């Protein structure tokens, strides 16, 4: 009898109202906000979105907003829209706030490169605290803790890549590993920690003509070598090539004449591609290597 009930439950999950979970709109969305950490009197919060018609075991997408580590909010309208889109298709989404350490400092060529790396570290720490909070209270959140996907735009994308491959994490368990990454106009300060063992399925969206965060390998903001803000970065193309050389999955979506605006445009223009990556590369663990180049006006 238990086996029959399990089969019926699975059929319900994967054919809810005749639609396909993870691809079609199968549920209304519930949203609640939580304080996940207090640091120096400042409350760090997250907005948690989940599908109403599914009760547990959601894959979790963590979203980290952009803004040069000096601006941006977790609940911009386009972020809410994107989070509700994913949640209506069976995912939980946590859009987080974090310490804006570069406020009134900027993030350009006149900002010390060591301060930039410190911003990466602090944001990585805050994202880790948010994940720790959700896992510790998982009786309430009911996520699948083996299916946590990082996503971010611009500074947020830099932060999540840093968290995955550079940051020495003392918040999350040593054996913890993310199941996927969605990087929208992000880059890394080093690729030495991307190995056969540590490689994570990653989807990259990046404008080839991005003049702030390099598409391939170049200085951040294309600063000169004698600028105090000079910081060489490995962009989406470089990281994808690294994963390719390791025969690990990646999904590189390049925009031939795209600029830095592609740090957020995929959230409404490339939703089919995002769902495709999440399902086949993350949940189903298909070992695909996908490269798409488009040209837009």
**Please, what is the end-to-end C-alpha distance for the chain in angstroms?**
58
The reply to whether 52 falls in a domain is yes
Report, as an integer, the average pLDDT of 229-251. Answer: 98
Give the domain range for residue 193: 27-294
Count, in order, helices (H) and strands (E) of the chain. Answer: 8, 12
Tens of pLDDT, residue by residue over 72-102, are 999 999 999 999 999 999 999 999 999 999 9
Q: Which pLDDT band, with edges at 50, 70 and 90, does 19 fall under?
A: low
Report, as an integer, the average pLDDT of 148-154. Answer: 98
61, 35, 77: which is closest to 278 by C-alpha? 61
Task: Identify the three-state secondary structure at position 65.
Answer: coil
Q: Which CB contacts under 8 angstroms, 24+ apart, belong to 265-269?
A: 265/205, 266/184, 266/205, 267/78, 267/79, 267/81, 267/82, 267/153, 267/184, 268/78, 268/81, 268/82
The reply to whether 102 falls in a domain is yes
The reply to whether 133 falls in a domain is yes
Phi, psi at 203, each rounded to 5°? -105, 130
71, 48, 70, 42: which is closest to 61 by C-alpha? 48
The reply to whether 1 falls in a domain is no
Query: pLDDT value at position 7?
Result: 42
Phi, psi at 156, each rounded to 5°? -65, -35
Query: pLDDT value at position 262?
Result: 97
Longest dimension (CA), the chain: 72
The reply to whether 204 falls in a domain is yes
The reply to whether 14 falls in a domain is no
Please give the tally of structural domains in the chain: 1
Phi, psi at 2, each rounded to 5°? -60, -40
The reply to whether 16 falls in a domain is no
The reply to whether 7 falls in a domain is no
Write down the pTM of the prediction. Answer: 0.93
Looking at the predicted structure, is the pLDDT value of residue 3 above 50? no
- Specify the CATH number for the domain of residue 74: 3.40.50.1820
Tens of pLDDT, residue by residue over 104-129, are 888 999 999 999 999 999 999 999 99
Q: What residues form DSSP beta bridges with 165?
A: none
């Amino acid at each position: 009898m238990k086996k029959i009930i399990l089969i019926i439950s699975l059929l319900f999950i994967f054919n809810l109202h005749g639609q396909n979970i993870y691809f079609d709109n199968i549920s209304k969305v519930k949203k609640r906000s939580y304080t996940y950490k207090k640091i120096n009197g400042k409350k760090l919060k997250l907005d948690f979105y989940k599908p109403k018609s599914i009760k547990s075991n959601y894959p979790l997408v963590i979203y980290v907003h952009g803004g040069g580590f000096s601006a941006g909010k977790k609940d911009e309208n386009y972020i809410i829209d994107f989070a509700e889109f994913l949640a209506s298709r069976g995912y939980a989404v946590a859009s987080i706030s974090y310490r804006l350490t570069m406020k009134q400092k900027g993030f350009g060529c006149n900002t010390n490169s060591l301060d930039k790396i410190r911003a990466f570290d602090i944001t990585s720490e805050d994202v880790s605290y948010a994940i720790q909070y959700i896992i510790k209270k998982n009786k309430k959140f009911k996520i699948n803790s083996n299916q946590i996907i990082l996503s971010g735009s611009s500074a947020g994308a830099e932060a999540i890549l840093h968290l995955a491959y550079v940051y020495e994490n003392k918040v999350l368990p040593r054996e913890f590993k993310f199941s996927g990454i969605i990087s929208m106009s992000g880059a890394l300060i080093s690729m030495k920690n991307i190995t056969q063992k540590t490689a994570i399925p990653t989807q990259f969206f990046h404008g080839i003509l991005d003049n702030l965060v390099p598409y391939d390998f170049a200085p951040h903001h294309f600063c000169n070598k004698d600028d105090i803000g000079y910081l060489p970065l490995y962009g989406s193309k470089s990281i994808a090539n690294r994963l390719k050389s390791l025969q690990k999955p990646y999904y590189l979506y390049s925009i031939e004449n795209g600029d830095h605006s592609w740090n957020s445009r995929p959230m409404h223009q490339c939703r089919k591609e995002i769902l495709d990556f999440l399902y086949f590369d993350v949940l189903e663990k298909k070992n695909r290597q996908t490269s798409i180049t488009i040209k837009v006006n």
